[in-house]
Amino acid sequence: MSDTSAAPVIRLSEYRPPEFLVETVTLAFALAPETTTVTARLGVRRAAGTPAGAPLVLDGEGLALRALRLDGADLAPERYALHSHHLTLRDPPDQFTLETTTEIHPAANTTLSGLYVSGGNFYTQCEAEGFRRITFFPDRPDVMARYRVTLTADRAMAPVLLANGNPVAHGENDDGTHWATWDDPHPKPCYLFALVAGDLIAVRDRFVTRSGREVQLAIWVRRGDEDKTDYAMHCLKAAMAWDESRFGREYDLDVFNIAAVSDFNMGAMENKGLNIFNTRYVLARPETATDADYRGIETVISHEYFHNWTGNRITCRDWFQLSLKEGLTVFRDQEFSADQGSRGLQRIQDVRRLRAAQFPEDAGPLAHPVRPDSYHKIDNFYTATVYQKGAELVRMIASLLGPQRFRAGMDRYFASCDNRAVTIEDFLEALGAGAGVDLTPFLAWYATAGTPEVTLAEDYDSETGIFTLHLRQHIPPTPGAPNKPALPIPLALGLLDAETGAPIAAKLAGETASSSATRHLLLDQPAQTWHFEDVGRRPVAAIGRGFSAPIKILGLSRERLRFLATHDPDPFLRWDCLQRYASEILLADADAVRTGAARAADAGLIAAIAALLDQAAADPAFVAEAITLPAETQLAEEMAEIDVDALHMARESLRAAIGRALAAPLRALYENLRAAFSPAIDGAAMGRRALANAALSYLVAGGGDEAIAMAVLQFQTAPTMTGRLGALTLLAATERPEREAALADFYARWRHDPLVLDKWFAIQGMAPLPGAPARVRALTRHPDFTAANPNRLRALIGSFAQANPVGFHDASGDGYALLAETIAAVDPANPQVAARLASAFGMWRRMPPARRTLMAAALAELAGRPDLSANSREVITKMLAPSPSAGGVTRH
Ligand code: TRP
Ligand code: ZN
């Protein structure tokens, strides 16, 4: 059982260093599914400055204490106290060995935190606070110890016994059990502890580090999955080599193990030397995994590997510093992916993701700074803000420093913080010291929630040749933070000739010569002005190149957006301006739908897309990104009051108009791409598949039997899952008989592959069809649906609540009821996952009155449940709290 009801609030300002240190940990596990016995021997020492007589308080949850010894002697009952979440030792000596024997019940553990059983095997998940569910311990990341672990289990049930570090010994017992001992020489916080035991197969490889150390690599999977690990292994080796060349970081153990498990709350976990992965980020073959799945594997395999230095060797002092490891490691995995494939495409995809997930979070009731200042359950702070915005902050600083100084700063960080549990201040200080730049002003970004908004005004004086740029920043209020300081915002811009679009030279005060290069301005006041001299002709400021800071630039006219979308040399800004141009058009049209005003089609966007189709051969991946309209969920962010039906209608009619107007070039492009088809897993082939799917999607939107027949043909004959699933998604969004036939065919073919079956559920969860809530509800009764598996639950319910706005917000309120019922059902078994689902209610205050009332009622019903978990209670309470600005956050 998890802890229910309100958990106490934890505040950053109340941080105190640990009173006792644990320097060595010896663990013995007698593994059995029903009851596992854990014997822990802790080498404990009173920290300097801790008063004599101070008690030692250990965390523990759901543990049955069977024995307790101090320096080998049983502890008398008056020397300790046992509470539901703690074990307190009264008056312990300065230095001692504490031995506990506890019993836990892995098969009954449905939370997937602590030690649990999945598919008959044992796995652990200790981040953030799961170790306390295994044994009594000061479960906080600033207590770092050396671990030696012995596992004993039935030899038949668990032939494989894995833990952190290096294997040191193993043997057999007479009773059918066997054992293995693992030693991890590197001190680590307990959240990085892991064990895996069971019947698993290793796919092996090796890597020789640049200093010549040979590392044995293994990916452990269930029998039958051995043929799906090639790509993950390839990514692992590439990541190991990249961390050496880009950051000078070598791996530091003799073995590196990855175990894949199908029941997992998140993507993966960076346990020292023994990463544990959700199967969806390990297993792939072209027939079963999409290109997006392959990219996900590259991201997550490298991310967890990179944690070995940013997270494990250097860890967090406390959980408020979570972005110290997560933001930095996301930055590192983004850079890795950029170096593996196309840097420009990577940037577009990272920004798309930031806007889709983090911007809404930052504007809603769950908004929090990258370094939060309080929490109830830290599990609720593994968010887009901590991860994605945190990565943007590191990127902002890295760009400001440039590659050489950034590397020097990172070298300093690795040297000065190694083997320590540190803070974001420590990071900025070391980085700045190594780079020779004072980075303290950037700390304010970590403490400020909300997405800054920058507006610009311009003057051009043709007499003097002076171009003046005025920039102003504003940060909207967020819960508990009405007023914000001005932040240091780096902005990359260039000037283009307003007539021809060619770059034009200018001289900024302080520059020695005119240049047309990109300038990096630092806006660090509420309002600031820059003068460019020697500007011979009226310029257009191309501002926001490369997305140099996680902000919104507001107030650019449609004309300006189209101009930059066509002329700017930066592909990112061209993509961005076309997206924002499309947003403007779609929002205006949605408004017309809503108010019943006349709707006027926009020829400009169709012309821009036609021009892009002409250039498709040069960079299909970029064109696929550029012609894909912003998602409805992203458009909704720009609406003061969200009208999901009007948005859907506006977007679908624009897609249909494009499909009809450009039917001939789209078909020609589609046929060309099919003719050059290759099933390869590389950037070029992926780009062609993405563009083929985008073209087909427009053709189907344009209407007609012929396009449907093309989709059916692609569905039946595509040799990759990307093609098959692209076509199935289109068919599943129609109400034609081809829909049911394709879904039945897909099910029959893939019903035995859980990850593919997840896609089958997800496609149906996302289908924007009438009666969507009832369709999804019916699927919850499908024999293959189970809410106990987080992947399956997210596939159906998560995709419905997060990626099907017209379905979820069905006027009946049945979508809300379905989500609320699901949360209530899942919450007692798995509070982490239930609380995550609940965040889908986040925009309730911005819905029109009838839906707002229905959503508020669903939330209030959940909040009224006395047995609600602390995780869900924190999220739901925050959503119901009064909004920060009575008039609502500024919208444009
Ligand atoms: N640290 C993991 C990562 O790489 C995140 C994670 C995995 C996690 N499992 C978890 C966080 C369970 C909280 C709870 O990003
Ligand atoms: Zn991480």
Domain ranges within the chain, ordered by starting residue: 1-199, 314-446, 453-549, 551-703
Do residues 336 and 306 touch, judged by C-beta distance below 8 A? yes
The answer, yes or no, to whether residue 4 has pLDDT greater than 70, is no
Residue 15: pLDDT band by 50, 70, 90 thresholds? very high
Same fold, 1-199 and 453-549: yes
Residue 883: pLDDT band by 50, 70, 90 thresholds? confident
Q: Mean of the per-residue pLDDT values for the chain?
A: 97
The answer, yes or no, to whether residue 93 has pLDDT greater than 90, is yes
Q: Is 645 helix (H, G, I), strand (E, B) or coil?
A: helix
CATH architecture, range 551-703: Alpha Horseshoe (1.25)
The neighbour count for residue 237, using CB atoms within 10 Å, is 16
Q: 309 CA distance to ligand 2 centroid (A)?
A: 12
> In testing the pocket of ligand 1, which one of 116, 118, 127 has its CB within 8 Å of the most ligand atoms?
127
The neighbour count for residue 716, using CB atoms within 10 Å, is 11
User: Ligand 1 within 6 A of 125 CB?
Assistant: yes
The answer, yes or no, to whether residue 640 has pLDDT greater than 90, is yes
Query: What's residue 884's pLDDT?
Result: 79
Q: Is 469 helix (H, G, I), strand (E, B) or coil?
A: strand
Do residues 837 and 875 touch, judged by C-beta distance below 8 A? no
Query: What's residue 6's pLDDT?
Result: 73
Q: Identify which of 395, 492, 389 has the alpha carbon closest to the alpha carbon of residue 446.
A: 389
Query: What's residue 546's pLDDT?
Result: 96
CA angle 217, 222, 224 (to 5 degrees): 105
Q: Provide mean pLDDT across the span 758-775.
A: 98
> In testing the pocket of ligand 1, which one of 266, 272, 307, 791 has its CB within 8 Å of the most ligand atoms?
266
Query: What's residue 890's pLDDT?
Result: 45
pLDDT above 90 coverage of the chain, percent = 97
> Can you tell me which atom of ligand 1 is nearest the CA of 270?
4
Q: Provide mean pLDDT across the span 569-594.
A: 97
Q: What values do phi and psi take at 642, rounded to 5?
A: -80, 125
Does 735 participate in catalysis according to the annotation? no
The answer, yes or no, to whether residue 887 has pLDDT greater than 60, is no
CATH class of 453-549: mainly beta
What kind of fold does domain 314-446 have according to CATH? Neutral Protease; domain 2 (1.10.390)
Alpha-carbon distance of 522 to 508, in angstroms, equals 13
Q: Provide mean pLDDT across the span 303-326.
A: 99
Residue 891: pLDDT band by 50, 70, 90 thresholds? very low
Specify the residue for token string 């297993």: 283
CA angle 414, 418, 420 (to 5 degrees): 135
Q: Omega of the bond prior to 128 within 30 degrees of 0, cis?
A: yes
Residue 876: pLDDT band by 50, 70, 90 thresholds? very high
Torsion of CA 773, 778, 779, 781, to 10 degrees: 140
pTM score, whole prediction: 0.98
392-405 confidence digits (pLDDT tens): 999 999 999 999 99
Query: What's residue 452's pLDDT?
Result: 98
525-571 confidence digits (pLDDT tens): 999 999 999 999 999 999 999 999 999 999 999 999 999 999 999 99
The protein residue whose alpha carbon is closest to atom 1 in ligand 1 is 269
> Can you tell me which atom of ligand 1 is nearest the CA of 267?
7
pLDDT above 70 coverage of the chain, percent = 99
Q: 330 CA distance to ligand 2 centroid (A)?
A: 7
Do residues 843 and 819 touch, judged by C-beta distance below 8 A? no
Give every strand in the sheet of 73-74, ordered side by side.
73-74, 64-70, 95-104, 36-46, 20-30, 144-154, 177-189, 166-172
Query: What's residue 262's pLDDT?
Result: 98
* Pairing of the two strands 453-461 and 552-554: parallel
CATH for 1-199 (3.90.700.10, 2.60.40.1760, 2.40.260.10, 2.60.40.1730): 2.60.40.1730
Among 129, 298, 304, 632, the active-site one is: 304
